[in-house]
């Protein structure tokens, strides 16, 4: 009896211990990991993803910087007796710099009386020399008591033309290579050989012309152009609130002399007619009176 009771007690103790170990193992084990659902490539291209904008991780090509051929215009108003001298001094400065720095493209000067004079000078120079010259020209005009009437800059973007010309040159070079290989085959057909040679000559001529155009565009980029217009105050347009009055005052004597010129021109046409017509009219009137006198007496 005692033995059976002891066996029952041991079995109960073992059952309780097993139960506790299972509970401890259940709470000690980490929770199972749940992997996120796989997203297919079609699901990635949802409207929301499309509306999110372009992918910034992709490299974006930077815009090409423009290749400009710059040209400047300067208008200087100086005393009439200094117009030609100032133009010649600027021309001499360009010539002293050398043709690799500055080149004189055109120069002319004219004068009409003591107070009306004008001149124009066109130069082509490097950017460094051009900056120096523009500063000097403006300072020279102010130093002579004149002013700067105009200062303008124009830029011609040649980047597209250069890219197109270079691409055309590469295409022509490939065509020339094909024609040269075809000519090396020494075909027995004389007509075909002549046609290939003609095409090769044409392609080479196109390449030479394109090379000249490309060199001219490169020269326009390396050498900038400036056109300086010099004029006296009597020619320059007045500025300020009194400009209309100044224009009227300048044109007063010109209008008077112009009207006198018109009258003098008219007199030059009327006077010969009067010199010939007046004696003829006097002779005709006297003859009529002579005929009328005998008739009245009879």
Higher-pLDDT residue of 14 and 51 is 14
- Residue 72 has a pLDDT of 94
Tell me the backbone φ, ψ of residue 29, rounded to 5 degrees. -75, 140
Per-residue pLDDT reduced to its tens digit, 145-193: 998 988 898 888 877 888 888 888 898 889 888 888 887 776 667 777 7
Burial of 149 (0-12, 13-18, 19+ CB in 10 A): middle
**Residue 166 belongs to domain spanning:** 159-220
CATH code, domain carrying 118? 3.30.70
Same domain, 81 and 136: yes
Spatial distance between the Cα atoms of 192 and 185, rounded to a whole number of angstroms: 11
Residue 5 covered by a domain:
no
Structure-model confidence comparison of residues 34 and 155, the more confident one: 155
| DSSP 8-state code for residue 100 | T
* Confidence class for position 251, pLDDT limits 50, 70, 90: low
* 148, part of any domain: yes
**209 in a structural domain:** yes
Q: Same domain, yes or no, for 73 and 153?
A: yes
Do 121 and 146 have their domain in common?
A: yes
Q: Which of 205, 231, 257 is the last residue before a domain boundary?
A: 231
pLDDT at residue 107, rounded to an integer: 94
What mean pLDDT is reported for the chain? 75
Query: Considering 231, 262, 293, which residue would you say is the last residue of a domain?
Result: 231
Task: Report the number of distinct structural domains present in the chain.
Answer: 2
Burial of 116 (0-12, 13-18, 19+ CB in 10 A): middle
């Amino acid at each position: 009896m005692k033995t059976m009771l002891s066996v029952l007690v041991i079995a109960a103790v073992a059952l309780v211990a097993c139960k506790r170990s299972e509970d401890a193992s259940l709470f000690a084990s980490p929770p199972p990991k749940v992997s996120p659902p796989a997203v297919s490539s079609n699901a990635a291209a949802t409207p929301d993803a499309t509306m999110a904008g372009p992918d910034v991780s992709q490299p974006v090509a930077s815009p090409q910087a423009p290749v400009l051929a710059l040209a400047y215009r300067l208008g200087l108003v100086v005393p009439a007796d200094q117009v030609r001298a100032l133009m010649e001094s600027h021309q001499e400065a360009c010539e002293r710099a050398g043709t690799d720095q500055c080149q004189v493209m055109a120069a002319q000067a004219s004068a009409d009386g003591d107070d009306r004079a004008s001149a124009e000078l066109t130069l082509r120079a490097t950017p460094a020399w051009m900056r120096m010259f523009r500063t000097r020209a403006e300072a020279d005009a102010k130093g002579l008591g004149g002013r700067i009437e105009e200062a303008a800059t124009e830029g011609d973007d040649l980047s597209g033309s250069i890219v197109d010309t270079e691409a055309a040159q590469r295409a022509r070079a490939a065509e020339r290579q094909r024609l040269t290989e075809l000519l090396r085959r020494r075909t027995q057909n004389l007509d075909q050989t002549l046609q290939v040679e003609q095409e090769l000559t044409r392609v080479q001529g196109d390449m030479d012309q394109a090379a000249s155009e490309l060199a001219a565009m490169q020269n326009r980029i390396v050498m900038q152009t400036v056109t300086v217009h010099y004029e006296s105050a009597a020619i320059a347009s007045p500025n300020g609130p009194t400009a209309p009055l100044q224009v009227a005052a300048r044109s007063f004597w010109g209008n008077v002399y112009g009207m006198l010129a018109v009258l003098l021109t008219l007199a030059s046409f009327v006077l010969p007619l009067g010199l010939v017509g007046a004696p003829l009219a006097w002779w005709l009137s006297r003859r009529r009176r002579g005929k009328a006198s005998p008739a009245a007496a009879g």
